[in-house]
Amino acid sequence: MSILELFEFTLKFNLAAPDTATWIYVLLTLIVFVFVLGWGWGKMWNREWSLGSHAGSLILILVFGVLAAYSIFNLRGISRMEYWFQQQRLTLARSIADSGRFNRSVLTATWDKVKSKGGQEGLSPPAEGGNEIRLKTPEDAFALASTAAEETRSTLRNKLPFSLGVPISTRNPTDIATETVDTIRFDASRFPTIAAANNEWCSTAATLQANHALDTAYATLKPGIQDLKTTCFWLLIASIVIPIITIPARALADIKINPTPKR
C-alpha cells in the first residue's frame, strides 16, 4: 500500500475502531496550538500581541494546529494497531464461528454436498429448519471443514480490517480442511456422528483461516506503517517548529509597525 493509501486506512481505522484517548489528544493539540503557540508564545515577545487581530497568523496557527492534530491522530492509530491485531486473533475467529448466519451457511452448503450419499434419515434439512448433519465418514468431516474455510473467506471481506480495503489473503480450503482434521484427530471409529451447526470442525477451520488472513494483512501493512509513522513524526515536528519561529517574528514586527505609545 502507498503512503496515501495508508493515510486513508489509518483514518478509516481510527473512525471504525474509535478510542476516546485519541480524540482527547487531538483536542488538546488544537488547544495548545491556538492558546499556547499562537497567543501565549506571541505574548512573550509582544505584550500587546493579539492573535485575533492578525488574520494571517491566526490562519497559520489553525492550519498547523490541524496538521499537528492529524499527525497525533495517525500516530495514536499506529500505536494501537499492533495491539488491535493481536486482540483480533483472539476475537475475530470466535465471532465468525459463533455467528448463527455463518453456521447456517456452512451447514446448508455441506448438506448439499453430502445428501446424495444418503444417511441423513431422521434429520431435517437446513432449508426446513434443521440444525444438525450426520457425518458418515471422515470424508464428510473433511467436506464440512472445507466448506467452513470457504465461508470464512467470504465472511472476512466484511470484517475489519479487510472491510477498510486491506488486501485479504487466505489459504486453500483444502489445506485448511486437512489441518483441521489433523488438529481435531476425531477417531474414525466414532463415525457416523451427528454434528450441530456450531461444531469443532467449523470453529477450527474458521480460526485457522481468520488468523492466517490477519497475520498476512499485518505483515503487508507493517513496512508501510513504519514509513507512515516517520512521515507523521516529521509533519508534527514541522507543525511545531514553523509557528515557534514565525509567531515571534510577526509579534516583533507588530511592535515596529504599531509601537506602544509612551505614557
Q: What percent helix, strand, coil does the chain show, rounded to 5?
A: 75, 5, 20
- The better pLDDT of the pair 157, 18 is held by 157
Do the domain assignments include residue 222? yes
Q: What is the mean pLDDT of residues 140-150?
A: 95
Lowest-pLDDT range, 12-21, 143-152, 211-220, 252-261?
252-261
pLDDT class of 203 with cuts at 50, 70, 90: very high
Sequence-ordered list of residues with C-beta below 8 angstroms from that of 65, at least 6 positions apart, any chain: 29, 30, 33, 34, 37, 38, 239
Do the domain assignments include residue 263? no
Do the domain assignments include residue 94? yes
CA distance between the termini of the chain: 64
Do the domain assignments include residue 79? yes
Domain count, the chain: 1
Domain that holds residue 173: 3-257
Grid cell listed for 215? 497475520
Do the domain assignments include residue 19? yes
Do the domain assignments include residue 262? no
Say yes or no to pLDDT of 263 above 50.
Answer: no
Other beta carbons within 10 angstroms of residue 246's beta carbon come to: 17
Query: Dihedral (C-alpha) 48, 49, 54, 56: value to the nearest 10 degrees?
Result: 150
Mean pLDDT of the chain: 89
pTM here?
0.76
Nearest to 194 by CA among 110, 142, 123: 123
Cα-trace Rg, the chain: 29
Q: What is the mean pLDDT of residues 100-114?
A: 92
Lowest-pLDDT range, 22-26, 166-170, 198-202, 255-259?
255-259
What is the enclosing helix (H) or strand (E) of 103?
Answer: helix 100-114
Do the domain assignments include residue 245? yes
Other beta carbons within 10 angstroms of residue 256's beta carbon come to: 7
Do the domain assignments include residue 185? yes
